[in-house]
Amino acid sequence: MLKFFRKTRQNLLAQNRFTRYLVYALGEIFLVVIGILIALQLNNWNAEQKAAKEELKLLQEMRHNLHSDLEDCYWNINKQVELKYSNTAVLRHLEDGTSLTDSLRFHYGNLIYSTTQRRNMSAYDHLKAKGIDLIQNDSLRRNITVVYSERYYYIERQELEYDNVYQMNEVIPQLNAKVILDEGSNTGMPINLSDLKEDEAFKGTLRMNAKVRQSMSNRYSRLSEDLKNLIAHIDQELNDRK
């Protein structure tokens, strides 16, 4: 078509027919502009299709990460409940003056432990590198941002500045001074049971540690709800885009 316009325009110019020459020249320009616009539209469409595929792939990866994190969160909840029980069991044993049993040795060994939430950040880091606006759904984008930049940050702060600080500053020094811990069997026993039964500082540490375990269990439970909600949101988005 362009060759036709160009040849016709050249013939008209040779015949000094300037008006028709201008018409054909404008027609040639119009076709060029239309061609450029079509090419740009195709490029934009291809870019949008590529971005959509990247988004879906990233959401699938994120869902996998979140499922793994949720399983770890459930484990942390159960472990914190177990650790709280160990603290209360040892406290009750000391207050009641009961004999040391194998079960109590297990609970003494449990006093030193806490938990840390796994945070699989690979999909979210990939999203940040690509640009958070890659997620088309506004509410899903906000939900992702809240979980990864707020909820995970909050639980990490609680672990580092609340749980771990209490363990390092209060629990572990008391255990090192008053309990023999066997790392091989993960058990423990008092250095002097009679003295420990009268040790109000140690018993106070157990009471507080039980409260810390309950508090961390509650925090992990709230995180698990946030994770389940985000997983459901991602599942809905993936289903809607099929």
Rounded to two decimals, what is the model's pTM? 0.81
Return averaged pLDDT per consecutive 10 residues of the chain, 242 residues in all.
49 52 56 65 61 89 98 98 98 97 98 95 95 94 97 96 95 97 95 97 98 98 98 96 80
Place of tokens 């988004």: 55
pLDDT of residue 30: 64
The two structure tokens encoding residue 148: 């990864």
The two structure tokens encoding residue 110: 């449990």
pLDDT of residue 19: 56
Report which of 124, 120, 118, 117 is spatially closest to residue 158, judged by C-alpha positions: 117
CA 12, CA 142: separation in Å to the nearest integer?
A: 63
CA 217, CA 222: separation in Å to the nearest integer?
A: 9
pLDDT of residue 22: 53
**Run of H or E residues at 20:** helix 18-96
User: Left if phi > 0, otherwise alpha if psi is -120 to 50, otherwise beta: which for 137?
Assistant: beta
CA 151, CA 84: separation in Å to the nearest integer?
A: 23
Residue 46: is it exposed, middle or buried by C-beta count within 10 angstroms (0-12/13-18/19+)? exposed
